[in-house]
Amino acid sequence: MDRDPNHAFRHVDTLILSALALVYCASIYPLLWWGDEPELLTAAWREGVPHPTGYPLYLALSEIFLRIPLGSIAWRGHFFSAVSALIGIGFLLRLDPSRSQDFWRSIGWRIGIVSFALSGWVWEPSLIAEVYTLSLGLFGATLMASAVFLAQPSAKGLCSIGLLAGLAVGHHRILSLMLPGLALWLLSGVRRLPSRSRALFTAVAVFLFAVVLPYTLLYSRAHGNPPLNWENPSTLENLWKVFSATQFRTDQTLIRINRSVSHESGQGPHPLMASGERVLELARSLWREWGPLLAFAPVGFLAALRWNPLSALAGLLAWLPVVVFFAQYHVGDSRAFHIFPCLPAALALAWGMGMALEWVGDRRRLLGWLSVFALVLWPGYQWVRFPRPTGSVAELPSRFARRTLDQLPPNAVLLVIPEHFGAPIDYVYFPLAYEHEVARRARSVAVLAEGFFTAPWYASTLEREGIRPRVIEASLQGTDSVRVRDLSWKEFAEEQRASRGRRKSGPPGILRVEGRAYFEDWRAGARILAETFLPELGDRTLFTTAAFPLLDPLVPGGIEWERVLDIPLPTESFAPLDGMPLPSGRLYHVRYDPSKVKAHGRNP
């Protein structure tokens, strides 16, 4: 038997990746899915800019796959995610740190990596258009280049690491939290370089270049006036806002203040308890995916600590900052982000599994093979139990968007409004935007999102749809009846504490915190719509995704909300959709007298 992993296991890895490719491709969702997918696909297909940080490398690579004449456009985006995941898993398989004589250790390593590949953290984003599997592919390539560098240090190898790490961090900023661990791992190789200072300087320069270079794509796209142009990075100032994710940091600050105020008023847990709950959720996620196999992770860490302390500490240093980040992370899609802290845990588990198999196999070969058989059962169990949507559930986003758009008459305006104030509109607006812009459905119809009316960049979208962007200006600067107040974060927090539990009184207003505008409540949004948006529609027929009765008293003669469509969206208890803000499926025809609105709009 050839016991050299560089030969025998190369063929084994090919078989493993081939089997995973069959499993992934057989499970890929055939049509559009929820979440960020419709936005990313629309941006890639129509050369637009998605939400910060813009993901320019993802856009460039996914656009190549979207041009493949195979399946639906959405399926091609899903296929790109699967390929990215397989590339990352392929690098992790070859990362096997075992020596040539460690046959059992190499087998255990591969079982552990396959278990990671079949976990929900990797499998779920591999079946839809998401950015996380590209992160896995890039960081897997970085780790592989690092292993090659440590085996034979060279300035060229260090620059290769800088290039791959730069592309990875530029693609998804959270990967920067793993860089200290990576640097510690590379330390022994860097020390052996003959011209260390020059090589380090060059590698850092290549790293920074690789981080920044893809963002020139966003700059050029924004100048093309695309239908989706988040933050409009056509200037260096706006490009920096996208690159630095200014909006994300602002939203995180807002959420932290609201949670702190909620705790002080007795309506929520202490922020530290909320952070602890997120760490516990990560632990529960690890247990759900690996069950008893999770015991191999600490075994692997302790074994690595004895075998190569620097590698073990590097892995720990790469893992801890990401866990701390997620303890403070306050966005609903935290489950999808578990792939980042779980990657170092997966490497520890794979190493621990290999060490355990070596200990058993070297003593009793038969017992070693029985152990291999027993361990392989778990990835098989993962594959069998993975939730798969039925045909009807998989069709829900496309069905909702197509039926809604098909109901609209030519030249109508569809205003996407959430069911509740402050609720996200992503799950409602972006499937409609995808069918409208990518599938080219109901092209004469204007599809607009009320939730973006306080975003300056959305003005160009309104203009493209034939609507004057005066509603954007009013939402940012206010009107005669809606005042704007500029507040610091401290003043905002104090006001939130003072108003907690009390119904807002007085005239509606807009808060502008650190340059970003927020409606105090829906009364302000209603007045803005009545005074600027409705008068600009002229004779165009208006439809909305939710009734908005606050508009009624602001329009002379009132408004009639006629429900013209009610699309059932049964999820059939499909676990990944639990708690997701799915649309109601309702569509309202808004009947009012445009002439009266125009008169009212000129004299608010």
- Write the pLDDT tens digit of every residue in 222-243: 998 898 999 999 999 999 999 9
Phi, psi for 449 (deg, rounded to 5): -115, 115
What is the β-pairing status of strands 516-519 and 509-513?
A: antiparallel
Host H or E run for residue 323: helix 309-328
User: Does residue 595 carry a pLDDT above 70?
Assistant: yes
User: Does residue 271 carry a pLDDT above 80?
Assistant: no
Under a CB-based contact definition with an 8 Å cutoff, are residues 418 and 425 in contact?
A: yes
Q: Using 50, 70 and 90 to split pLDDT, how confident is the model at 8?
A: low
Cα–Cα distance between 140 and 95 in angstroms, integer? 9
**Pairwise pLDDT comparison (240 vs 329), residue with the higher score:** 240
Q: Quick one: pLDDT at residue 388?
A: 84
**Pairwise pLDDT comparison (251 vs 137), residue with the higher score:** 137
Under a CB-based contact definition with an 8 Å cutoff, are residues 342 and 120 in contact?
A: no
Q: Quick one: pLDDT at residue 101?
A: 62
User: Does residue 196 carry a pLDDT above 60?
Assistant: yes
Phi, psi for 558 (deg, rounded to 5): 75, 180
Cα–Cα distance between 66 and 45 in angstroms, integer? 7
User: Does residue 138 carry a pLDDT above 90?
Assistant: yes
Give pTM, 2 decimals: 0.90
Q: What percent of the chain has pLDDT over 90?
A: 49
Q: Quick one: pLDDT at residue 416?
A: 93
Write the DSSP string, 486-539. Answer: EE-HHHHHHHHHHHTTS---SS-EEEEETTEEEESSHHHHHHHIIIIIHHHHTT
- CB contact set of 542 (below 8 Å; sequence gap of 6+): 412, 413, 415, 534, 589, 590, 592
User: Does residue 195 carry a pLDDT above 60?
Assistant: yes
- The dihedral sign for the CA sequence 146, 148, 153, 156: negative
**Pairwise pLDDT comparison (522 vs 590), residue with the higher score:** 590
Q: Quick one: pLDDT at residue 57?
A: 96
Cα–Cα distance between 132 and 151 in angstroms, integer? 29
Q: At what angle do helices 339-361 and 296-307 cross, to 10 degrees?
A: 80
Biggest CA pair distance of the chain? 90
- CB contact set of 261 (below 8 Å; sequence gap of 6+): 493, 496, 497, 500
CA-closest candidate to residue 72, choices 25, 30, 33: 30
Q: Quick one: pLDDT at residue 333?
A: 64
User: Does residue 1 carry a pLDDT above 50?
Assistant: no
Write the DSSP string, 113-173. Answer: HHHHHTSHHHHHHHSSS-SHHHHHHHHHHHHHHHHHHHHS--HHHHHHHHHHHHHHHHH-G
User: Does residue 257 carry a pLDDT above 90?
Assistant: no
Beta strands in 201-354 (DSSP E): none
Please compute, for residue 266, the number of CA atoms within 13 A of its CA located in the half-sphere on the CB side: 1
Mean per-residue pLDDT, 68-96:
93
Cis amide bond preceding 479, omega within 30? no
Phi, psi for 587 (deg, rounded to 5): -135, 130
Q: For the chain, what are the domain ranges?
A: 8-385, 392-602
State the average pLDDT for the chain: 88
User: Does residue 599 carry a pLDDT above 60?
Assistant: no
- Integer distance in angstroms from the first to the last C-alpha of the chain? 86
Partners of 517 in beta bridges: 512
CA 189 to chain centre: 34
Under a CB-based contact definition with an 8 Å cutoff, are residues 82 and 266 in contact?
A: no
User: Does residue 311 carry a pLDDT above 80?
Assistant: yes
Q: Which of 113-122, 211-220, 419-428 has the lowest mean pLDDT?
A: 419-428
User: Does residue 318 carry a pLDDT above 90?
Assistant: yes
pLDDT digits (tens, 9 = 90+) for 352-384: 999 998 888 888 888 888 988 998 898 888 888
pLDDT digits (tens, 9 = 90+) for 483-533: 888 888 888 888 777 776 565 666 788 888 877 888 888 888 888 898 888
Partners of 483 in beta bridges: 509
